[in-house]
Chain A
Amino acid sequence: MYFLLAVICAGIALLATTNRFAESKYGFVIGTPEIKSISALTFGPEGILFIGDSKSGVVFAMDTKDAAATQATAIEIKNIDQKMAALLGTTPENITIQDVAVNPVSKTVYCAVQSSDGTPVLFKIAGEKIEAVNTKNVPFSSLTLNNVPAEDAKDRRGTSVRVSAISDIGFADGKVLVSGLSGQEFNSTFRSIPFPFSDKQDQATLEIYHAAHGKYETLAPIKTFTTAEIGGKKYLVASYTCTPLVLFPMDELKPGKHVKGRTVAEMGSGNQPIDIVTVKKGNDSFLMMANSARPVFKVKYKSIEAYQGSLTTPVEESFATAGVDFVSLPVTNVIQMDKLDDSRMILLQRRSNGNLDLWTSSERYL
């Protein structure tokens, strides 16, 4: 009996220590993060969710405690905007789905929603059930992005001058990667922030150039990005507001350094990249890119790798686009996309009948 009690006590003590260890491991404190907006979501290790808050110019790291490894199951929710609106007590035109991210461990889909009054809400989708994610009294840490105007900075009419947006957020090799847009200057900022966040703000702020056609060199903001291994080397694969697909070697992205990226493809006109993910089928890996005015594009990483030799010369033009070949999938109006597992994606798609559905792609798209 005493032995059993001792074992229980030891177990509880061990559990408590483990929790404290996990929290201290990432420098988390228990509290309520002051999230003013959710522009972008991504997952780090052990169910840690990174939230890009454009309105505050802050990245939050939050422990979702959702770290039990689970086999991914296909999700399909029709009219998801109506369902979410009903749960929030409003109508679909009063909500916007800002981003979706799949927890790579639990395979749960997380979804950032903003109501028309600006209130951000975080949902998670387990099977067919939509739940609100608690953001009160949770373990979290935060980091204010550098070069963001102070919150009290006002223009001569007393209007807050900060106009910036976090266009995408990612996690690779222990670093949180953040691409930003500024409403005040036409520029590209890309930050690589070590995690756990440190007081030193040891982060790289990079200005990125891309050479289109080898003739004009311009600056432009990154809209969305991913990281990938091409020919044994790690690259940042970024898509710009003017739709070229550009590669940057990860090892060159160092604090204060100007890196010239290489345009490998142009994806056509009047279009905005929305999300990029990397998926695999057998020995082939593919870059999948959702677009505002085009179908989902599929690019073989092997084509990008083969193209690398000619990157220094101007891009040969074809009728529709330039650069590496890509395939258009018969999937249009995809508003958000993320990777569910190695070979499947979840897509938030506006169907031709106007419905907004969340569904899972099968391997046949690869």
Chain B
Amino acid sequence: MAILIFGLPVNAICNKLNMRRVRLYITCSLTFFVLIQLFSCEETRKKGTASVIWKDKNAVAISFPEWWLTDKKGAVSVRVRAGYDNEVMMFGDLEKRADSITFTPLIPFTRGLSYEVFEGEKLLTSFSIPKTESKDAPRLLAVHPANDTVPENLLKIYLQFSQPMQEGKSAYLVTLIRNDGDTIKGAFLDLQPELWNENRTQLTLWLDPGRIKRDLQPNKKLGAPLQKNQGYKIVVSDKWKDTQGSLLARSYSKSFVTTSRDSLSPVPGNWKMNVPNANSVSHLQVYFSEPLDHGLLDEAFTIVNENGDLIDGRWQFNSEATAAAFIPNKTWKSGTYQLEVDTRLEDLASNNVNRPFDRDITKNSDVKLKQNFVKLAFQVH
């Protein structure tokens, strides 16, 4: 097969012209190809996408080579390609680092959205932020109280998630359903801001306190959210997204039944204790006389010795929050110890150690002395 350069067979060229001219032709052709190649390379790079910079699974910035900018006069802007108004430049910091331009938006780029980078009104490139993978879907780890039976004036429900969740969504995504299938409307207080822990993995929900408190208008007009001796189900929708935009792996539900109203404060003096032996690392076991609220359990107990020194160790609680075990770091020495119970500790109806949730002042005028701790002494032999 004949090889052609500029339409002439190479053999013919070699035969007809001297070697110097042949070299000239070949050099010219190579130069032409290299230039074409370079030119096409430049075109390919221009059509490429900017590099997305990730931090903790968030797309926090993009960068692209400075040579993409042509006239260097038009302002560089990044715009979201959304259904409504994509003429608006995003807020963020534009920085020149070495030979590249970095744009850091005020908030990370959103998963599943596409963006465009402009120089003046000329489109430089576009890029998309991929959606999260289904293996990263968040899960609901626990609902507190975990108990099957709760008082009809239960106040708080805690939802524990596997990863940080989007805030402000609980009013639409958590429902309370009576066993006959009716949804209890307005059961939870629509509280803004919602009560999330710092890393947004635990949400506290309140059953509407105005409906639980005796004699207030909401209580009189709508009644308490829960009635005694009924079955209920809390349903958490799978439409809830985490902070990355991943949907909850599935919907979750937790069933329970109600008993009568609890209007009494927890009395630590009535609790039972299994006291460990001296020179052992056995657990101190405490059995409450009723299930306690999940919220403060981890902070409510401390043990001190006769000198007032804090005993190091850790606390464990059963899932129903009816019993606690203290596991000491060191062996017990014989002597007298005090278990200090924080009086802010509440039961499931938010009666705390110092006072009940609501107090009928016409019937019971006794007000307990307000104290920060109740002390329970125990002897280790």
Contacts and interface: CB of A to CB of B under 8 A. Distances in A.
B352 interface: yes
Interface stretch (A23-31, A83-91, A277-285): A83-91
Contact of A185 (B200, B209, B346, B361): B346
Interface stretch (A2-10, A63-71, A195-203, A267-275): A267-275
A186 B208 CA distance: 12
B206 A91 contact: no
A86 B317 contact: no
A165 B193 contact: yes
A156 B200 CA distance: 17
Contact of B107 (A121, A156, A219, A266): A121
B244 A117 contact: yes
A244 B206 CA distance: 17
Interface stretch (B31-39, B174-182, B216-224): B216-224
Contact of B80 (A86, A160, A165, A268): A86
Interface in A38-72: 39, 54-56
A186 B166 contact: no
Interface in B268-321: 293, 295-296, 298-299, 314-317
Interface in A18-38: 36-37
B191 A241 contact: yes
In the complex, which range does the number of interface residues on chain B fall in? Answer: 35 or more
Main SS of the interface on chain B? loop
A82 B215 contact: no
B200 A269 contact: no
B362 interface: yes
Contacts of A271: 218
B195 A269 contact: no
Interface residues of A, number: 74
A215 B109 contact: no
Contact of A215 (B108, B204, B362): B362
A183 B361 contact: no
Nearest to B297: A155
B30 interface: no
Contact of B167 (A96, A149, A151): A96
B107 A215 contact: no
A214 B192 CA distance: 29
Contacts of A313: none
B167 A114 contact: yes
5 contacts: A116-B167, A160-B199, A163-B202, A185-B350, A215-B362
Given A85-B80, A271-B218, 6 more contacts: A89-B113, A165-B193, A183-B203, A183-B204, A216-B359, A270-B222
